[in-house]
Amino acid sequence: MPSSSQQNTFLIWGGNGWVAGHLETILKDQGQTVYTTTVRMENREAVMAELDRVKPTHVMNCAGCTGRPNVDWCEDNKAATIRSNVIGTLNLADVCDQRGIHITVFATGCIYAYDEAHPMGGPGFLETDPANFSGSFYSATKSKVEEIMMKYTNVLCLRLRMPVSDDLHPRNFVTKISSYSHVVDIPNSNTILHDLLPCAIILASAKETGVYNFTNPGTISHNEVLTLFERIVRPGFRWKNFTLEQQSQVIKAGRSNCELDTKKLVEKMREFGVEMPEIHDAYGKCFERMVKNGVK
Ligand SMILES: NC(=O)c1ccc[n+]([C@@H]2O[C@H](COP(=O)([O-])OP(=O)(O)OC[C@H]3O[C@@H](n4cnc5c(N)ncnc54)[C@H](OP(=O)(O)O)[C@@H]3O)[C@@H](O)[C@H]2O)c1
């Protein structure tokens, strides 16, 4: 561990969330100084008081309105979604800016959809490409806020997509698709948390700023994921496919399908001596860890 990182104090916002929990575990395992908070981001006085109390060098913003059981909830709860994903997210970035605190925001890459210039098979969307997917209110809030938030100079914005953990937590993308009666079969960029969260800590510690597509390199289709799952974790597992048109009958909000270009992230991580694992390799290793963790 570089000695400078020993002086870092991390404050994780949205402390009870799924990504937050994984990040806290990794930071603690690294022996870093880490605190969590559940203070509402939109409550400016409370945010200022919390920052002044903890005095973090780094805020890790894992808070966001994601909807339960899924983003369809945001369609019917637009004010609450705006309060967290727009007002809250900007408020926290703004107060950090005023205090000169570096903030890492766990954002989403679900702001794109394959189009003529970015068909399946690539090229993927660059960090600089304007969002082209607003089929869900959740995604619409996230893309608009990112554009404004990136005017601040203290923000590192990491775009996760379909995050995957080494267990079968309900928020894990694999848990979701392995429990649906039918799944579509489309290649997508995915984030294996085991690989990417340590990178977030490295980038934050170095006070990197700007936007990064924060997924493993390459794309993987739903059927490829479930084939690996069947082979490594749950022999005999079977699933059924349906089309995008059929999927649209059972969901309220649209879902993004896209490839994110990871060149910027891959090259940046090489500067820190880290090689990003390709998505199929990463899934294989993830499922092997799942088996070791006792998942069936
Ligand atoms: N999981 C995914 O599929 C996925 C994909 C891409 C990006 N992301 C992004 O990554 C971040 C973390 O996701 P996650 O899966 O860990 O979500 P999560 O489990 O729902 O955790 C989010 C946490 O944020 C808190 N929160 C919501 N609004 C808040 C506010 N205004 N002030 C303070 N805390 C607030 C929630 O607390 P309450 O429940 O009390 O509101 C919850 O504990 C989110 O911003 C999400 O949009 C997630």
- Ligand 1 contact via 222 beta carbon (within 6 Å): no
Return the bridge partners of 125, or none.
Answer: 260
- HSE, side-chain direction, 13 A CA sphere, residue 30: 24
Q: Is 16 in the pocket of ligand 1 (CB under 6 A)?
A: yes
Q: Tell me yes or no: is domain 3-292 CATH 3.40.50.720.
A: yes
State how far the Cα of 202 lies from the Cα of 80, in Å rounded to an integer: 33
121 CA to centre of ligand 1 in angstroms: 30
**Ligand 1 contacts CB of residue 42 (under 6 A):** yes
Q: Is 22 in the pocket of ligand 1 (CB under 6 A)?
A: no
Q: What is the pLDDT of residue 1?
A: 43
Query: What is the residue extent of each domain of the chain?
Result: 3-292
Residue 88, ligand 1, Cβ within 6 A: yes
Determine the residue of 16, 62, 66 to mutate for testing ligand 1's pocket, defined as the one with the most ligand atoms within 8 A of the Cβ atom.
66
**Among 26, 37, 62, 158, residue to substitute to test ligand 1 (most atoms within 8 Å of Cβ):** 62
Ligand 1 neighbourhood includes 56 CB (under 6 angstroms):
no
- Residue 187 CB less than 6 A away from ligand 1: no
User: What are 177-188's pLDDT values in tens digits?
Assistant: 999 989 999 999
186: nearest Cα among 245, 262, 267 = 245
Rounded to the nearest angstrom, the distance between the alpha carbon of 244 and the centre of ligand 1 is 26
Instruction: Report the candidate in 181, 110, 171 with the shortest Cα–Cα distance to residue 146.
Output: 110
pLDDT at 18 (0 to 100):
97
Instruction: Provide the CA 133 distance to its chain's centre, in angstroms.
Output: 17
The structure's pTM equals 0.96
Beta carbons of 179 and 235 less than 8 angstroms apart: no
| pLDDT at site 5 | 47
CB of 44 shorter than 6 A to ligand 1: no
Give exposure, 193-223, as e/b (b: 16+ Cβ within 10 Å). bbbbbbbbbbbbbbebbebbbbbbbbbbbbb
**pLDDT for the residue numbered 246:** 87
pLDDT on residue 6: 56
Q: Which residue from 70, 188, 191 is spatially nearest to 139, judged by alpha carbons?
A: 70
Weakly modelled stretches of the chain, pLDDT under 50: 1-5
Phi and psi based region of residue 213 (left: phi greater than 0; alpha: psi -120 to 50; beta: remaining): beta
